Structure 1
Amino acid sequence: MNSGGGMDMQAILQQAQQMQQQLMAAQQELDDAQVEGTAGGGLVKTTLNGRGQLQDVTIDPKAIDPDDAGETAQTIADLVLAAVRDAERAVDELQQEKMGPLAEGMGEGGMPGLPGF
């Protein structure tokens, strides 16, 4: 019958495959990315990957007051939380940069069922 329909389906499949490859590449870039957050003027630094998973926490010894361990512990906890939130904001921006164009290319509905998005 109409052989033209087959060509359209082929083009759609090729486009879907290309988008999948772009998505996988963007996801790999997020896995490999290192995003840093800081608090307390750099006394506490956190490192997250591009998916928002905590990779490292660094606490400068200057943040520790040996004369007030209880207060220091609470301050450090607050600084770690602030540094993680700072890094999470940067992760959100990175994800938008890497994944935003792909989401726009998929249209309004996106592609449901993709893990992690």
Structure 2
Amino acid sequence: MIKGLGGLGDMAKMMKAAKDMQDKMGQMEEDLARMTVTGESGAGLVRATCTAKGELTALEIDPSIFVPSEKEVVEDLILAAIKDAQRAAEEKMQSEMSRMTEGLGLPPGMKLPF
């Protein structure tokens, strides 16, 4: 603490820590936008790729499933692959958040906004 300033020295320290945390959060958000995860369905017949933030970036469909009478099955497989990729993205984001915040002394399970 700085002499003669009372609690202002502690306040400055807290403000610096908050700024550092904000910078780390911004960097992590950028990193999550670059990380990708893949979900699949139908034993790999449909694959969906998302960023770790959940943005769908690619969809691969094995041509063998394009049978007109199986339209509903194909639609279900596509949705299942996208949901699987989004689930994997959520897990990756939570894992990265936990890794970043483990040294902050936050209560277990506390989610930061984003």
Task: Say what the alpha-carbon RMSD is for the aligned residues.
Answer: 2.2
Q: What SS does the aligned partner of 1:4 have? A: coil
TM-score normalized by the length of structure 2: 0.82
Per-residue CA shift, 1:63-107, capped at 9, x if unaligned? 123xxx0x3221110001110111111111111111235566384
Give aligned-pair identity as a percent: 31
Q: What residue in structure 1 maps to residue 10 of structure 2?
A: 8
Of 51, 57, 60, 1:58 maps to 60
Q: What is the identity, as a one-letter code, of the residue corresponding to 1:72?
A: E
Q: Determine the C-alpha separation between the residues in 2 that align with 1:110 and 1:87.
A: 21
Decide whether the 8 Å contact of 1:31 with 1:51 is kept in 2.
yes
* Paired residues for 1:1-117 under 5 Å: 2-65=4-67, 69=68, 71-102=69-100, 105=104, 107=106, 114=113, 117=114
Q: What SS does the aligned partner of 1:47 have? A: strand
Rate the CA distance shift 1:87–1:56 in 2: closer, same or farther, 3 A. same
TM-score normalized by the length of structure 1: 0.80
Unmatched segments (≥5 aa) in structure 1: none
Q: Determine the C-alpha separation between the residues in 2 that align with 1:34 and 1:106.
A: 29
Q: Determine the C-alpha separation between the residues in 2 that align with 1:42 and 1:86.
A: 12
Q: What SS does the aligned partner of 1:52 have? A: coil
Q: Determine the C-alpha separation between the residues in 1 that align with 2:9 and 2:97.
A: 29
**RCO (CA 8 Å, sep 6+): is it higher in 1 or 2?**
1
Rate the CA distance shift 1:92–1:5 in 2: closer, same or farther, 3 A. same
